[in-house]
Amino acid sequence: MENKLQEVNEQAAANASDALSKLIDRQVEVEISRTEVKKVEDLSPLIGPEEMVAGIYLPVTGDINGAALLIFPKETAFVLSDLLVKREPGTTHKLTDLDTSALKEVGNIISGNYLTVLANVLQIKIIEHIPNFSFDMFGAIVSQIITAFAQKTQEALVIEIEFTFKPETFKGYFLLLFEVEQFKAMLGSLVGVAGGGFLETS
């Protein structure tokens, strides 16, 4: 069966690369290195519950209801901030309001591109809402999103993203959580399975 998830990943990454390159006026390659379905209770060890991360949360409504959550480990957030506000590399050690705003824009770009491609492939309506930002422990950030959907969500689509600003590569994570039946239907349409398991897409 055709794996539409691969198609979504490739198209979304290409679109995000173009948009980010224009934003920071430098060639950026966004690649999706791994896509995985995880149970929500298994998300916390993804990075480590006490690790400091930048979290950008975008509520999602429309034909499917859920959450998009961009996670940038601290180092990735600092590198992105240097690039976005045009500082010397290695300058950022604390996020300012300007950095926060710029990182939210990156979240908008990544999430917006992914959800737009997803909506086109699945031919459904997806509305992404304004981004919310937090810089704190990974466990604290991700658990609030899990809790918000605790009655309705069992699994999340975890998309590992690599940003390459040659010669360096930095990692981030894009998490998509939808209500159970909608999530199963979405996965069924994308990869022909009704949820669960590992989806090797690279």
> Which residues contact other proteins by CB under 8 A?
39-41, 44, 49-50, 52, 55, 57, 59, 132-134, 136-144, 146-148, 150-154, 180
Is the torsion defined by CA of 145, 146, 150, 152 positive or negative?
Answer: positive
The residue assigned the tokens 């996670």 is: 71
Identity at 10, one-letter amino acid code: E
The residue assigned the tokens 């309506």 is: 125
Q: How far is the CB of 147 from other proteins (least distance, A)?
A: 5
Residue closer to other proteins, measured from CB, 23 or 52 = 52
Render 60-94 in DSSP notation, one character per residue.
Answer: EEESS-EEEEEEEEHHHHHHHHHHHTTPPTT--SS
Residue closer to other proteins, measured from CB, 91 or 132 = 132
Q: How far is the CB of 47 from other proteins (least distance, A)?
A: 10
Cβ atoms of 50 and 109 within 8 Å: the answer is no
Give the containing element (helix H, strand E) for 33.
strand 29-39
Q: How far is the CB of 55 from other proteins (least distance, A)?
A: 7
Residue closer to other proteins, measured from CB, 134 or 182 = 134
Q: How far is the CB of 151 from other proteins (least distance, A)?
A: 5
Residue closer to other proteins, measured from CB, 132 or 202 = 132
